[in-house]
Each structure stands twice: as C-alpha cells, then as structure tokens.
Structure 1
Amino acid sequence: MPRIPLLIIALFFLIGGVAHFVFTDFFVMAMPDYLGYHKELVLISGIFELLGAMGILIPKTRFLAGCGLIALIVAVYPANINMALHAERYPDISEIFLYARLPLQFLFVWFVWWAIHLEKRKTAI
C-alpha cells in the first residue's frame, strides 16, 4: 500500500500532467525561446508526469518512476527560470512566488528521492 509521501508525489504529478493538456497554452508560454517545438514538449512532459504519477505507486516501477520524475523536474527547470525572468507575462502569479519556487524545486527533488529510497528500505526489511 502506498505511503503518504508517495501519494503526495503521485497527486502532484497527476494534477500537473493533466494541467499540461488542459492549460497547454499557459505551459507553452513558459517555454524558453531557445527551445523549439514548445507545444510538443509541453505535451510530452505532461505524458511523462502522468506516467511518473502512476509508476511511483507501483512497487516494481517505483524506483525507475521516481528517477524519471527527478529527471523531469530538472528538465523543466529552464521553463521555471524563464517564468521568473519574465514575470510580467504572468500578472496573476506573484513574482515573489515565481522566484521562491525555484529553490523549492531542489527540495522537491530531494523529497522524491527520499520517498523512493524510504520505500526501498521498507521493502528490504
């Protein structure tokens, strides 16, 4: 049975993954100009968020899914930096929030890593 941290991670990425398909234009706007295929990258990252959300709940795929989610957090970090640097494009989001969430993503990487290793240790006992 999944533990609370795994459920939190799964819910976070489930909501985020669905949001990539519902609010595609918002995520496209966050993409740095130097990247091409903005819409395609948004949809692909949404698919991987959904796969990771499901995979982290399955014991046999948990570790791989967790590592994939960590890679995804790192991969989308440039879009989050881009949002902070162009806060004027997001008048409904506080500029302080856009900058504050940047270091919080490193905390979330640690949280995912901790959760998949915590579960790995529990199943080894």
Structure 2
Amino acid sequence: MARVPLIPRSPLLLAGLMAAAGIAHFAAPAPFDGTVPRILPGSPRTWTRASGAVELALAAGLAAPRTRRLSAQATALFFIGVFPANIKMAYDWRDRPAPARALAYGRLPLQLPLYLWARTAGRPTAG
C-alpha cells in the first residue's frame, strides 16, 4: 500500500500558487499594500511589487527542474519572511466582520503547511 503524504510535494502546483499570488500583487495591489508593516522603509506599493516579482521568480524556479531545489528552499524562506505581513493583517482586521476576521486569522496557521510544502517540493521523488 502506498503511503499518502500529509503535505503535497508537487512543485508544479506550488509554482502555480506562487505565480497566481505574484500576478495578484500586480493586478490588485491595494489589499497587499495594507499588509506591509509600517516599519519597512519606502512606499508600501514598492514592497507589494517587489514581493509580487519575487513570487513570480520563485514560481519560475519551482517549475524548472534545474532550479527547483534552490527555489523550493527560497520559497520556504519567503513564507517565513512574509509572515509579519500576515500578523499585521490579522491585527488590522481584528474589528472587521467575522468572515473577514476568519480570513485574516486563517492565514496565520496556513503559513506552516505552505512552508513545509516548499521544503518538500524541492526533494527528488522516490521511485
């Protein structure tokens, strides 16, 4: 009987997720601007564009077998790096209606499986 992993390992699926997120940062940047921690220098829009560009680069790296391992490691670090934005969003949305709060709070624990997914996406498949 084959063992079913608890965490998806598909690097192409993760690449698609990263590409979609990257495109969203350019297509509709305003919601992302609001999650940029105020401690960061410069314009929030600059950070939104930079993170969107990084997501697109990570997606490309995950899609290419030659760069997959390094890109998967970088993606895992990226998920750690954007966690403060998720904390800021949860804090800022604490007084919003319940569905919005649930979305903001739900992003926090979601970072762990995303991080673990990125860690495993760069590993060679068995068999």
Relative to the length of structure 1, the TM-score reads 0.83
2:15 is equivalent to residue 10 of structure 1: yes
Partner Cα separation in structure 1 for residue 23 and residue 96 of structure 2: 20
Which residue of structure 1 aligns with residue 74 of structure 2? 68
- Does the CA contact (< 8 Å) of 1:45 and 1:72 recur in 2? no
Report if the CA contact (8 A) 2:69-2:121 is conserved: no
- Which residue pairs with 1:46 in the alignment? 52
RMSD between superposed Cα atoms in Å: 2.3
Q: Once superposed, which parts of structure 1, at least 4 consecutive aligned residues long, lie more than 4 Å away?
A: 88-93
Q: Does 1:113 align with 2:119?
A: yes
**Equivalent residue letter for 1:85:** Y
More helix, by proportion: 1
Shift of residue 63 of structure 1?
Answer: 0.9
- Residue pair 2:21, 2:52 contacting (<8 A) in 1 also: yes
Q: Which runs of 5+ in 2 are unaligned?
A: 1-8
Structure 1: unaligned runs, 5 residues or longer:
none
Higher RCO (CA 8 Å, separation ≥ 6 residues): 2
**TM-score, scaled to structure 2:** 0.82
